[in-house]
Structure 1
């Protein structure tokens, strides 16, 4: 699918960026944490650049990146991004919007120290 979007829409189209990010999230679920983390960070950066920091898609990738930073033990970076995403989502979407609530929850659950890394729940395999 990514190849098709690259061919039809180009590398800077939000669908291409989102699909590349979703592929990175799938790689994370399959245990490829190092390359997945890089792909998720890249999706956040590219999405914000293409649609603007205030767009819900950019805020959503900020949320995804906050969670991955928590899971990889980068609490300080997660806290900073989580605080930014929560504030932006509440301002742009309203404090009761589901994305704003999710961003606030991610920020609140961010550990305050860099050890030990947060352990996410195991994915449900059907």
Structure 2
């Protein structure tokens, strides 16, 4: 596990994001009540372990209200693509579609920044 980005730090960052999301819901600013965030352990490199072992932290927001799609699965899939390619999923979608594997999700929402990989689903790309 990373000496800097540990599970506790990832959880705090995701919870802050969740508070902003919940606040926007309360103000009727959003048209969808779904958010799932996955953070991968930056010390786990693609191919060194199974994806599930690389997940440092993940959390769903508003799942109890009923989601119209499996946004948790989508977020994991986006994180996997960013982990595998080392790129944001919108870059894979727009500039490097030849890097998609059979069955990959083709939406943006996965990011890779300096070895930190996060997958998010449920929100429009604007956020």
TM-score by shorter chain over 0.5: no
Which one scores higher on RCO, CA 8 angstroms, separation ≥ 6? 2
- The structure whose residues are more often strand, as a share, is 2
Per the normalisation by structure 1, the TM-score is: 0.31
Per the normalisation by structure 2, the TM-score is: 0.31
- The structure whose residues are more often helix, as a share, is 1
